[in-house]
Amino acid sequence: MSEIKVYGADWCPMTQRTLAHLRHLGLEHKYVNIDQDPHARKWVEEQNDGKAKTPTVDIGGRILSEPSNHELDEVLAGAGRL
C-alpha cells in the first residue's frame, strides 16, 4: 500500500482541509510541517518550481500540489487506497 505524506503548514487552510479529508476517510498519513523542517521545505520547493506550495501531497511517489479533495480522491483510488 502507498504511504501518504502531507507536506504543509499549520496556518494554511488548504493543508488543514486536506488533513481533515484524510482523517474523514480514515486513512493513515504522515504530516510534515515545512515551517519546522527545512529539508521538507526544500523538497516541496523542488517539487513546485521553487515555490513552497502547501499542501504538497506524496502518495507513493505521486506528487500533488494544492489538490482539491476530488483530485486527492482520484489519486487515492488509483493507488488502491479508496
Can you give the pTM of this predicted structure? 0.94
Residue ranges per structural domain of the chain:
4-77
Name which CATH class applies to 4-77. Answer: alpha beta
For 44-81, write each residue's pLDDT tens digit: 999 999 999 999 999 999 999 999 999 999 999 998 88
Amino acid type, 49: D
> What CA–CA distance (Å, rounded) separates 34 from 55?
10
